[in-house]
Homo-oligomer: A and B are copies of this chain.
C-alpha cells in the first residue's frame, strides 16, 4: 500500500521534533494552539508542519496516538512487574498524576473515541487489552470490586483525571483521589 521510502535524515529529525514540540504545546495551550506556534517552537517553517501532517487534525491524532501507545506500554510493564493490586492502583495514580500536570489521558481517550481517520483504533484496542489485564488480575486478587469492566475503568480514569485537575492544591487532590480509590475497592457489605 505505502511504498514508504525511508525519510531523509533531516525530514526524520523534523518529524520527531514536531511531534515532541506539538505534544508540549498542545498540553500547555490546549488543542486550540496554532500550528504556526508549533512550527516556530520547533524551529521549522509552517510548510514543513503540513508536509509531515497534512492536517492539524492529523497532527493531533499522531500526538494522541503516541500518548496512548506509551500508556499501553506502561500498563503492560506494571502488569508484568508488580503485584496485581499495586499494579492496578499504581497505574491509576500514574494516569491521574499526568493529568494533573495536564489533562493527557482524558483528551487522548476522547480523541481515540472520536477516532480521527480511524488511525487510533488499533492502538486504542491494545490499550484496552492492557487495561483489561491490569483490571482482571487486580479483581481476581480481591483488590478491586468485581462489577467493573474496561469501559467503566476508562470512564473512571477520565473522570479522575478531570476531578484531580479541577482540584487545585495537592491536599484537595489527595482527598479527591481517595474517594476514587475507596470506591474501586470491593464493597465490604
Contacts and interface: CB of A to CB of B under 8 A. Distances in A.
Nearest to A186: B182
Nearest to A110: B166
Copies of this chain, complex-wide, total 2
Interface residues of A, number: 36
A179 interface: yes
Contact of A148 (B160, B179, B183, B187): B179
Most-contacted residue by chain B among A155, A175, A187 (CB, 10 A): A155
Given A106-B162, A147-B175, A188-B188, A167 B155 contact: yes
Nearest to A172: B151
A159 interface: yes
B179 A167 contact: no
Interface string A172-186: 110110111111100
A180 B145 CA distance: 13
Interface of A: 106, 109-110, 113, 145, 147-149, 151-152, 154-156, 158-164, 166-168, 172-173, 175-176, 178-184, 187-188
Closest 9 CB pairs of A and B: A159-B163, A183-B183, A179-B183, A155-B167, A159-B159, A162-B162, A188-B188, A155-B163, A155-B176
